[in-house]
Copies of this chain bind each other. A is one copy, B any other.
């Protein structure tokens, strides 16, 4: 990207992360941790492969990520955020919070990959019963699994299956998201194609943050 040539923090940061796709690549690495080229490509539907390669080069040069060779047996290159790259989480959180009103309406043609639940779960969901014992649920869409946990008043989320989940939501991610935000109720969700196994009451532990 061409520099703005302005001695200003905002302009300097945009010089580095203002290119198209760059912040989305950081998002993927924040959510999934060290990732291979192909995993990044899958997590970024629509990205031209040459741009992904270009960006990864630029971002390595800018000190946002490192390209690591994983240990001997499987010689796969993985991309890993540096601390400097991880520090962009605050920026992504600010953008995510600003965009909250745009996520109320359900997606239309938008792609919604299950693992993207991780960031909004952290940003927009709250634990509605902080005093009660922790609750863990799994969201499953095809073979993708995401684990959400409500404990001590906080919601955490990560990619991967849950260990002994209290409930499992199975079906299209957009529906699961609507259900967690309490935009639709369980009966409606089931009619629309969602299955819930385990204790549906566990879902009530999650809800939208109060309007800021």
Asked if B109 contacts A9 (CB within 8 A), the reply is no
With a 10 A CB-CB cut-off, give which of A6, A111, A112 has the most chain B CB atoms: A6
**A113: shortest Cβ distance to chain B, in Å?**
8
Copies in the complex: 2
Asked if A10 contacts B92 (CB within 8 A), the reply is yes
Is A123 at the interface (CB under 8 A from chain B)? yes
Is A50 at the interface (CB under 8 A from chain B)? no
Is A200 at the interface (CB under 8 A from chain B)? no
Which of B14, B45, B110, B119 is close to A95, meaning CB atoms less than 8 Å apart? Answer: B14
**A57: shortest Cβ distance to chain B, in Å?**
20
User: CB-CB < 8 A to A171: which residues of B?
Assistant: none
The CA of A97 and the CA of B110, in the complex, are separated in Å by 32
The CA of A136 and the CA of B113, in the complex, are separated in Å by 52
Asked if A112 contacts B7 (CB within 8 A), the reply is yes
Q: Scan residues 1-29 of chain A and give those whose CB is less than 8 A from a CB of chain B.
A: 4-14, 16, 18, 20, 23-24, 27
The CA of A206 and the CA of B18, in the complex, are separated in Å by 31
Is A102 at the interface (CB under 8 A from chain B)? yes
**A38: shortest Cβ distance to chain B, in Å?**
18
Q: A5-B109, A6-B24, A9-B95 are in contact. List 14 more A-B contacts (CB 8 A).
A: A5-B46, A8-B27, A8-B116, A9-B98, A9-B102, A10-B95, A10-B119, A12-B103, A13-B98, A14-B23, A14-B95, A18-B20, A90-B97, A94-B94
Binding site for B on A (CB under 8 A): 4-14, 16, 18, 20, 23-24, 27, 45-46, 87-88, 90-100, 102-103, 107, 109-113, 116, 119-120, 123, 174
* 19 contacting pairs across A/B (C-beta < 8 A): A5-B45, A6-B45, A6-B46, A6-B110, A6-B112, A8-B119, A9-B95, A9-B96, A9-B119, A9-B120, A9-B123, A10-B23, A10-B95, A10-B119, A12-B99, A14-B23, A88-B98, A91-B98, A94-B94
